[in-house]
């Protein structure tokens, strides 16, 4: 049986991805913490032609939930798993509230790493599968405006780089997804401009990258070059930029 698992299925990017690909799988398992929203998404996914759609309700930030979650989702071979949950960290609040800063690091960083490691272990036992994880361009370099979020995403990207190498002999593909600005509920407060992409565009890019067995995806493509320039700016200049 051909199975797709989505961790963070209520995310706008995840929903756009499921809308594109679910009818190619025999079974789709949607995992998220909001039971009501999850049921609505499952109903929509069935309408789109997905054969079997199952839901699992879980707070993904709590790593203690991960072992039982993995038992439930890997009851049969999983061909593709997408990890798509997260939150845009309030940088100002982090400066005042270290508890919040740590909770955000757990959500966007440690828990994602823990879940990625667990999924990869299960796929290594199968000797097959694709693990796709949404990190961010924010993890490529610490910027004044969002380095708490960036540090968590940077940790995820570095972990996935090592995991990919580790899994390369086990038949498991690991894809790091680095979106730029995407118009989703996470960014609803932001003024949108030329650099912004839709969740559908990002989902299309993820679909192509999974199909081609890519390692790292910048989406849309031009972010690879924007981040190349950002990374090349010498630190003594970079620290003065109001980015
Ligand atoms: N939008 C962007 O510009 C952008 C750019 C780069 C990377 N990303 C990354 O893309 C991914 C998807 O985000 P999005 O843009 O699609 O935003 P979104 O629609 O706001 O989705 C974020 C999802 O994360 C879920 N979530 C948060 N905490 C959770 C928890 N403890 N357990 C389970 N689910 C939890 C939320 O669930 P609820 O519905 O229950 O709140 C929500 O569905 C995130 O990892 C984000 O960091 C986004």
pLDDT at residue 218 tops 90: yes
Find the 110 Cα to ligand 1 centroid distance in Å. 15
Q: What is the pTM of this model?
A: 0.98
For ligand 1, atom 22: residue with the closest CA: 11
pLDDT at residue 41 tops 90: yes
* Domain 3-238: assigned CATH number: 3.40.50.720
Q: How far is CA 101 from the centre of its chain?
A: 20
What pLDDT, in 10s, does the model give residues 115-148?
Answer: 999 999 999 999 999 999 999 999 999 999 999 9
Ligand 1, closest atom to CA 186? 20
- Report pLDDT for 82: 98
For 79-99, letters b (16+ CB in 10 Å) and e give bbbbbbbbebbbbeebeeeee
Q: What's the token pair of residue 66? A: 């991960």
- Report pLDDT for 187: 97
Q: Residue with structure tokens 């081609």?
A: 212
Ligand 1-lining residues (CB < 6 angstroms): 8, 10-13, 32-34, 37, 59-61, 84-87, 107, 134, 136, 179, 181-182, 184-187
- Report pLDDT for 63: 97
**Phi-psi map region of 31: left, alpha, beta (phi>0 left; psi -120 to 50 alpha):** beta
Nearest to 108 by CA among 71, 133, 79, 76: 133
- Report pLDDT for 81: 98
For the chain, where are the alpha helices, taking DSSP H only? 12-21, 35-47, 66-73, 91-96, 98-105, 111-126, 147-167, 199-212, 223-232, 235-238
In whole angstroms, give the CA distance from residue 31 to residue 56. 5
What pLDDT, in 10s, does the model give residues 74-116?
Answer: 999 999 999 999 999 999 999 999 999 999 999 999 999 999 9
């Amino acid at each position: 049986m051909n199975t797709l698992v989505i961790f963070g299925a209520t995310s706008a990017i995840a929903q756009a991805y499921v809308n594109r690909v679910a009818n190619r799988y025999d079974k789709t398992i949607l995992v998220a913490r909001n039971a009501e929203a999850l049921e609505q998404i499952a109903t929509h996914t069935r309408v789109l032609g997905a054969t079997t759609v199952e839901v699992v309700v879980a707070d993904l930030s709590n790593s203690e939930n991960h072992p039982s979650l993995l038992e439930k989702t890997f009851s049969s071979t999983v061909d593709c798993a997408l990890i798509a949950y997260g939150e845009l960290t309030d940088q100002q609040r982090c400066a005042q509230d270290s508890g919040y800063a740590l909770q955000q690091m757990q959500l966007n960083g440690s828990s994602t790493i823990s879940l990625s490691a667990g999924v990869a272990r299960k796929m290594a036992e199968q000797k097959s599968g694709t693990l796709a994880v949404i990190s961010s361009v924010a993890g490529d370099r610490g910027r004044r405006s969002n380095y708490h979020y960036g540090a968590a995403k940077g940790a995820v990207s570095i972990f996935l780089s090592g995991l990919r190498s580790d899994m390369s002999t086990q038949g498991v593909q690991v894809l790091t997804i680095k979106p730029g600005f995407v118009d989703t509920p996470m960014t609803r407060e932001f003024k949108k401009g030329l650099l912004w992409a839709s969740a559908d565009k990002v989902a299309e890019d993820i679909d192509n990258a999974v199909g081609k067995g890519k390692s790292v995806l910048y989406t849309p493509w031009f972010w690879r070059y924007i981040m190349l320039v950002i990374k090349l700016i010498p630190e003594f200049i970079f620290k003065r930029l109001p980015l």
